[in-house]
Copies of this chain bind each other. A is one copy, B any other.
Amino acid sequence: MTLKKPAGSGGAHPVERRIPMRDFSKSLPMSLLRAREAVMKQFRPSLRRHGLTEQQWRILRALAAVDAIEVTELARVAFLLGPSLSRILRDLEARQLIERRTAKADLRRGVVSISQKGLKLIELVAPTSESIYAAITRRYGAQKLAELQNMLAALEHSLAALEVTDAEPSENE
C-alpha cells in the first residue's frame, strides 16, 4: 500500500506517478494467466517425473487420439506455433516417442504418429493426470467448470470477430 516517496533516498530523481489506468492485476489477461497457472501447477510435477513438459504432453495426447496427423494440423490441435512444434517433434522423435514420414501426395507435408513407446508412456501418465483433473473438478464443481468453459469459448468466439484491429490512433505515419 505505502504510497509515500523515499524523499531523496538514493540520489536518483523520484518521479510523480498516477497514470489513470485499470487496475493492472484485475485485467482479463492477468486473470486468465493466473487461473491457468493455478491449474497447470497441479499437473506439472507429475509430468516432470515422467520427463515430459506440458507441451510435449499436449502433442503426445493429440497423437494418441488419431492414427496419424499432418504437422500443420497437429500445430492447430495442440495449439503450438510451427517453430515450437518443429523443435519438439525433433526431440520426441529422437526419444522414439513418435514416428514421422512425409505425405506421398505432397512431399512438403510431414505426417506424424505416436509410437508404441509413446503409447506406453501415455498409459503410465494418464491415470495420475486424470486423477488430478477429477480432483480439480470436484473442488471447483463440475457444473461451474462446464459453465466456465462455455464462457471461455464464448470469449474466444467474440474476439475471433475483432481479429487484430490494427492501426494506432495518434501515430499517423
Contact = CB atoms under 8 A, between A and B. Distances in A.
Interface in A23-69: 23-43, 45-46, 49, 54, 58, 61-62, 64-68
Given A39-B159, A41-B159, A170-B127, A133 B22 contact: yes
Interface residues of A, number: 99
Main secondary structure of the interface of A (DSSP, over half): helix
A76 to B, nearest CB: 10
B151 A147 contact: yes
A22 B64 CA distance: 12
Nearest to A36: B32
A24 B116 contact: no
A49 B171 contact: yes
B24 A29 contact: no
A31 to B, nearest CB: 5
Contact of A45 (B11, B145, B166): B166
Contact of A37 (B38, B79, B151): B79
Interface string A104-127: 100000010111100100111011
